[in-house]
Amino acid sequence: MYPVKLGFNTAAKRIQSLIQHGHHAEALVTSVFTLEKTIRRSLRLAIISRGFTGKQADQLLDRKGFEDLKNLWDVFEKNHNSLPKFVGNQHWQFVPEAVRRRNQLVHGGRVYSLADCKLYAEHTLEAIRILRERVIADYGSTHGQGRKGAGSRGWNGIQNKQRTTRL
């Protein structure tokens, strides 16, 4: 896995490089990790935009896995859209299976063909890009500046700045 301090573009390039060099299983694992991290950061920003402090947002998101984050999404998203609707089903439809496959790979439950891993890694990377673009469009790059707790580890990192984020 890569250090938490990598910016988004570097993480996306790393995933693309893994795919290009035939490390498809690693690309799948890395892309799902990056997706979860991006969802967590995005959700943190949405929570803060609802008036919560960064500390409160961190408490709400503490120890949440993929399903928990997905289920919390529409509670805090400004239009109460589900995560699949926010990203767009054409980009989201591969994500749940990618998460399932990543979990199976990581925990030794199953091995998948490299072609399958590549397919799901590519689709997950595209979903991450769409999610990030939508969040930037909806919440802006400077959202939360000046609010208590909003910029502590937050989501100005979505604009390619490197941040240290506790997962």
Domain segments of the chain: what residues?
8-142
Q: Look at 87 and 165; give whichever has higher pLDDT.
A: 87
* Residue 109 binned pLDDT confidence (cut-offs 50, 70, 90): confident
Give the integer Cα–Cα distance in Å for 72 and 154: 18
Name the pTM for this structure: 0.82
CA–CA distance from 145 to each of 42, 61, 151 (Å)? Answer: 15, 20, 6
- Buried b or exposed e, range 25-39, using 16+ CB within 10 angstroms: bbbbbbbbbbbbbbb
Give the integer Cα–Cα distance in Å for 120 and 111: 14
Give yes or no for a contact between 143 and 54, defined as CB atoms under 8 angstroms apart: no
Q: What is the pLDDT of residues 34-54, one digit of tens each?
A: 999 999 999 999 999 999 999
Give the integer Cα–Cα distance in Å for 74 and 100: 21
Q: What is the pLDDT of residues 7-36, one digit of tens each?
A: 889 999 999 999 999 999 999 999 999 999
